[in-house]
Amino acid sequence: MLPPPPIRGLYRTDHRARAAYAEGAGIFRILPAAVCVPLDREDLTSLAHWASAYRMALVPRGAGSAMGGGNVGDGIVVDLTALPLRVEVDAPRLRARASASVTLAGLNVAAGEVGLRLPPDPSSGRWATLGGMLSTNAAGARSVRYGSVRRWVEAVQLVTADGETVELRRGQSADSRSRALARFEADAAPAIRAGAELVRARFPRTRKNASGYALDAWLESGDVLDLVVGAEGTLGFVTVAEWRLDPVPVARAGLRIALGSLDALGAAVAALLEHEPSAVELLDRSFLELVGEAGPEAVLLIEMEREDAAAARTAVQDAAAAVAPWAERVDAGLTPAAAERLWALRHAASPILAGLPETRRSLQVIEDGCVPVEQMGAYIRAVREAAAARGLAIVVFGHAGDGHVHVNLLPEVGRAGWETSVASLLEAVTDALVHLGGTPSGEHGDGRLRAGLLARVYGDEIMALFARVKAAFDPLGLLNPGVILPCADGPSAGPPPISRLKVGAQAIALPDDIARGLRRIEQGGGYAQSRLELADGVPAGGLPPQP
């Protein structure tokens, strides 16, 4: 039995605590070795030293709403939600400095008091922590105009695997006294520079990418923080970040466009992008049938944000005219309330999917593929055909303005061999993404789910560069092992089987009340609930109030 780490926060090895952290929002159920809840940066420093001494893996975690499985693992789950909740808004500079434990909603409440906001808006923004968003390079519906999180990060404070605290800031040289950064500059940086042409050739040519380490972004900026954004906690613990902010838009208006063919999708979206929409969402036939709106092959929901109501109305009218050659029907919402009514359809599927019987669960396995916009129709057809060939039902929606398609699988989890069918589908869809110039992750990150598939996307040489980055920051491989880089020997290790799932016959048993509580969290989006309260039988109380 190991001695506990010398921290002021909590460290628990009892079965109920471990069970409460066995799941996140993705498909996995993995019982961790222990749970640690540090209270501050000093606790994290002590924990890093302790883990190095005893060779214990650490799994950083925020609210647990990430879908790729990077928030669960065999090691010690490190719950970062108890770090101090601090937000400082500098309105004249359009900046905010906030703890990693603060939620997007909490930051936007503070920024909104002075008419500002952080524009990326993942659907989990009510409970997603800023540290978690940064770690997956999260985005959301409005990324078509505002991009992913990376664009908005100015600086991060990072606790490394060595227990060092490093401040990484855009446009400034990294601290040469840091051992991690010294290793990076001595080995990984020269290798990446030497492979620059290969990076440019092999990286996806998509509007969004949250897969692998962002070597392309680092080559362009020279800022090490670009590697930390999207690293899913594999390079260190983000404790604080500084963010750029943007004024809250004055006016919004919207469109709903019905399309009769997937062949029209790429051209229609390209025409819409000329008018600078803030969102272009896709609901395909499978989604529409689920919510009782059968008819069109697809529906596009458009949002326009402008400086005044007249400009928003003009933008909607111009966009409607531009898309007319491909549209079967166009409905406009020229006021915020009318636009919101158009978007009600987008939110109608969530309660239906959450309420599916236990024998047919909604699973996120091929949920994050992103392709060049002009290839979106071809990608959806490829997914439909691959799923149908394996007898798997799907629901398709997504962020059409970025060519980013979310696919929920609806397998019959009581059917013999369904896991094999899902694993085969994951490989087939990954191959289709590569063929179309896409990425397996537009905004959710690779996690454990996609790590074994990345060699198909990037090739062995790029995977070797990823391994150099990892070795510079985490030479012992203790930070979230198996995330981004697979644990199996060599960067070309094949995809892991679809296993260690939260559903089906192979799911490990948890205490009944905890299993029910985790299911309620998943169904109702209750990721703000403290998992230790769940372990201790305390009624749902959520995290401490946000600033």
* 501-538 tens-digit pLDDT: 999 988 999 999 999 999 999 988 889 889 999 999 98
In the structure, what pLDDT confidence band is assigned to residue 497 with cuts at 50, 70 and 90? low
User: Who's near 499: CB < 8 A, 6+ residues apart?
Assistant: 419, 506
* Closest to 39 in 3D by CA, of 13, 14, 6: 6
Q: How far apart are CA 424 and CA 497, in angstroms?
A: 9
Per-residue pLDDT, 353:
83
For the entire predicted model, the pTM comes to 0.94
The domain 10-82+510-535 is classified under which CATH number: 3.30.360.10, 3.90.1410.10, 1.10.3720.10, 3.30.43.10?
Answer: 3.30.43.10
What six digits make up the tokens of 298? 């697809």
Angle CA 384–389–391, to nearest 5: 90
The domain 87-247 is classified under which CATH number: 3.30.465.10, 3.20.20.450, 2.70.70.10, 1.10.10.60?
Answer: 3.30.465.10
In the structure, what pLDDT confidence band is assigned to residue 542 with cuts at 50, 70 and 90? very low
Per-residue pLDDT, 541:
47
Q: How far apart are CA 177 and CA 154, in angstroms?
A: 21
Strand partners of residue 255: 302, 332
Handedness of CA 201, 206, 207, 213 (dihedral sign): negative
> 183, 72 in Cβ contact below 8 A?
no
pLDDT, mean of residues 444-451: 96
% residues pLDDT > 70 (the chain): 96
Q: How far apart are CA 302 and CA 101, in angstroms?
A: 32
309-323 vs 265-273: helix crossing angle, rounded to 10: 150
In the structure, what pLDDT confidence band is assigned to residue 545 with cuts at 50, 70 and 90? very low
* Closest to 410 in 3D by CA, of 400, 420, 396: 396
Any idea where the domains of the chain sit in the sequence?
10-82+510-535, 87-247, 251-354
**Chain mean pLDDT for the chain:** 93
| 497 against 113, higher pLDDT | 113
Q: How far apart are CA 153 and CA 96, in angstroms?
A: 10
Of 222-226, 273-277, 462-466, 487-491, minimum mean pLDDT range: 487-491
Q: How far apart are CA 458 and CA 464, in angstroms?
A: 10
Per-residue pLDDT, 345:
84
Say which CATH topology domain 251-354 has.
Alpha-Beta Plaits (3.30.70)
Q: How far apart are the first and last CA of the chain?
A: 40
> 475, 48 in Cβ contact below 8 A?
no
Amino acid at 415: R
pLDDT, mean of residues 408-424: 94
What six digits make up the tokens of 282? 């896709």
Q: How far apart are CA 390 and CA 385, in angstroms?
A: 9
Q: How far apart are CA 406 and CA 408, in angstroms?
A: 7
Per-residue pLDDT, 383:
98
DSSP annotation string for 18-70:
HHHTSB-SSSBB---SEEEE--SHHHHHHHHHHHHHHT--EEEESSS--SSST
pLDDT greater than 50 at residue 543: no
pLDDT, mean of residues 83-105: 98
Q: How far apart are CA 521 and CA 526, in angstroms?
A: 4
pLDDT for 245-288, tens place per residue? 999 999 999 999 999 999 999 999 999 999 999 999 999 999 99
Q: How far apart are CA 368 and CA 69, in angstroms?
A: 13
Per-residue pLDDT, 340:
85
pLDDT for 469-490, tens place per residue? 999 999 999 999 999 999 865 4
